Amino acid sequence: MRVYTIGFLGFFAYTRRICDYMDTLLVRALEQHGEVRVMLTLQHTADRLMAGRVLEIGKLFPGLRLVPVITEQEERIYKKNGPSLSAGERKRRLDAAGGYEVVPGTLLSNRLPGYHQRFIERCDQIVYSTFRVPQYIRDDFARKLRGLKGKQPLVRYVMQGDRMPDPEGMEPMIDLQQSIEYVRRSGFRLLTDKLPQELLDKWLANADLPGNYMEYGVVEEAGNVFGLKDTARAHYLLYKVFTAMYIVCNRLLSEENDAACEVLNSRFRQFRRMLELLAESRRRGIDIGRFDLVDFDNYDEIFKQLVKAARAHEPVKRPGDSEPDNLFTTDGKTE
C-alpha cells in the first residue's frame, strides 16, 4: 500500500481546536492507508508543538511518521547545535523524527513561499491555514499548484475557527501513553517526592471511577476499562493508569484471583486519596517524606503515615476557634 502524505502549511495557533482537527485527519487517514507521513515546518512555536504531537501519536500508531521540512539556514544551525531556545526545540523534533527534508533559503521576510513547491510535489493532501497569510503569498501557492504536472494534491484551506465534523481527539490516548511511559521509566515505582507536579495535576483532574465498576468480576472484564471513552462529566485517566499498574505488579494476568477486581477498586480509592493528600501537602509547602505509591501490599500503612505526616503540620487550634468556612452566629446557624 502506498504511503499517504499530509502537509500542514501556514500560520497555526496551537489550540484544542487545531489539535482535534489534526488528530481526526490523521486517524482517518491511517484507517484508509497503512502508512501516513506528516510534513511540517518547524519555523514557529505552534509548528514545533504540532510536530511534537505527531511524534506522540506515532507512538500509538506505528504507521505514522513525521517528516520535518527545514531551510538550509535551519539545517546549519541544527548541525552546529545552536544555543537559542527555538533551535533547541527544533533539534529535539529533528532528532526524534530521524530524518528531514531541506528547502533553499529565501530572502523574503515571510518564508512560506520557500516551502510551497516542496509541499505541492510531496503531499497527497495539504492543510493550509490562511490566517494572516498575505494575498500575494496565497497567489504564489495557487500559481505553483496550477503549474504542477500530473495529479494535484487535495488542498484544504482553513481558518483558525474551522472545525472538523465529529472530531476524534487523541488527547486521552496521548495522556495515557505518557503516564504509562513515566511509570515504566520509573521502574513501576511512584515516589511521592519524585512525582512530577504536572502529572499529579493531570491525574487528579481525570480521576473518576467508572459508574459500572461493580460489574467487573474478573480481570478480563476490568481490562475493558481501557476502552472506556471520557465524557463531559467523567474522565478515567487515573483509573486506567492505576488498573495497568495493579494488573502488572500483582501478576493478575497469570494468577487466578476471584476477588482481584474488588480489591483493585478499593485500592484505587486509597490511591486517589493519597494523591489528593500529596497535592494538598505540596500546596501548603509540607514535606511528607518519601513513599512508594505502587507498594500495594503496604497501602494501609502508607495511607496512615501520609495522613499523620499531613496532620503533623496543621496549626494548633485554640479553644473557641472556628473553621473559616463554618462560622456560626449566636442562633447556631452558619453565616
Residue 335 has pLDDT above 70, yes or no: no
Residue 325 has pLDDT above 50, yes or no: no
Contacting residues for 236 by C-beta, under 8 A, at least 6 apart: 206, 208, 210, 225, 228, 230
Please state whether the predicted TM-score (pTM) of the whole model is above 0.85. no
- For the purposes of burial, counting CB atoms within 10 Å of the CB of 240, is it exposed (0-12), middle (13-18) or buried (19 or more)? buried
CATH fold of 4-158 reads Rossmann fold (3.40.50)
Helix (H) or strand (E) holding 67: strand 64-71
The model's pLDDT over 41-98, given as tens digits with 9 standing for 90+, comes to 999 999 999 999 999 999 889 899 999 999 999 999 999 988 889 999 999 999 999 8
Given a contact cutoff of 8 angstroms between Cβ atoms, the answer to whether 134 and 94 are in contact is: no
The model's pLDDT over 146-182, given as tens digits with 9 standing for 90+, comes to 999 888 999 999 875 556 555 667 788 888 888 999 9
Please tell me the distance from the alpha carbon of residue 100 to that of residue 38, in angstroms, as a whole number. 11
CA distances from 34 to 3, 25, 29, 60, 64 (A): 7, 14, 9, 14, 9
Please tell me the distance from the alpha carbon of residue 135 to that of residue 141, in angstroms, as a whole number. 10
The model's pLDDT over 182-195, given as tens digits with 9 standing for 90+, comes to 999 999 899 999 99
Please tell me the distance from the alpha carbon of residue 179 to that of residue 5, in angstroms, as a whole number. 29
Q: Where in the chain is CATH 3.40.50.450?
A: 4-158
Output the pLDDT for position 322. 42
Q: Which position has the higher pLDDT, 219 or 277?
A: 277
Tell me the pLDDT band of 123, cut-offs 50, 70 and 90.
very high
Output the pLDDT for position 147. 93
**Mean pLDDT, the chain, whole residue set:** 83
The model's pLDDT over 242-300, given as tens digits with 9 standing for 90+, comes to 988 888 877 555 455 556 677 888 889 999 999 999 999 999 888 888 999 999 888 99
Output the pLDDT for position 330. 34
Please tell me the distance from the alpha carbon of residue 245 to that of residue 267, in angstroms, as a whole number. 12
Please tell me the distance from the alpha carbon of residue 30 to that of residue 68, in angstroms, as a whole number. 19
Taking the CA atoms of 131, 136, 139 and 144 in sequence, report the sign of the dihedral they define: negative
The cell for 147 is 503549474
84 φ, ψ (degrees, to nearest 5): -70, 160
Q: Decide: helix, strand or coil at residue 299.
A: helix
Output the pLDDT for position 3. 93
Identity of the amino acid at 190: L
